[in-house]
Amino acid sequence: MADDESTVFRIPRGATGFRHAKDGPLPETGLPAFRTALYAAARAAGGKVGELEEQTYPLTFHIATVVDGARESVVLCHAHHPWIAFAEERRNWYTEEFLAPPPWARAFSDLGFTVLDRARLITPLSEVDTSVLTRAEWREVRSYGITTLGGVLFNAWD
């Protein structure tokens, strides 16, 4: 279900939400694919989809909730790569506020998404392959004090 923690995570182009005009458009994780997987996950949880918000600038992610009884799970979907994460609360950016994926997160994997677990998301940037990041992206990372992989992936830099 979750990604393999034993391998070094390589940040691909577009992961930060920034791009050079000469590179063309960033890849997209469309809302329809996320919505389909979200409803499958909600069914697997025995719950329902709560709120769903499409990514808007400067966010790098779509955000939704799955309501299972009295519990509400916050689901993040990266807008440019098919990554799913879980968080404690709705925010505009994240650093270490991630949760372990619930058992029903497998529904996302079954539909082609990679579920990132908390251990991977709080990995220090010094342990991540950041070779693709540009000087401008590093300026943002330093400016916002980002030190984790999750902070780079799920952000609202402008």
90/75 Cα distance (integer angstroms)? 9
Positive or negative, the CA dihedral 93, 94, 98, 104 is positive
pLDDT in tens, the chain (158 residues): 455 555 789 998 878 887 666 777 777 888 899 999 999 999 999 999 999 999 888 889 999 999 988 788 999 999 999 999 999 899 888 888 999 999 999 999 999 999 999 999 999 999 999 998 888 889 888 989 999 999 999 988 76
Q: Which is nearest to 99 in space by CA: 127, 120, 78?
A: 120
Contact 141, 125 (CB under 8 A): yes
Contact 95, 147 (CB under 8 A): yes
pTM value > 0.85:
yes
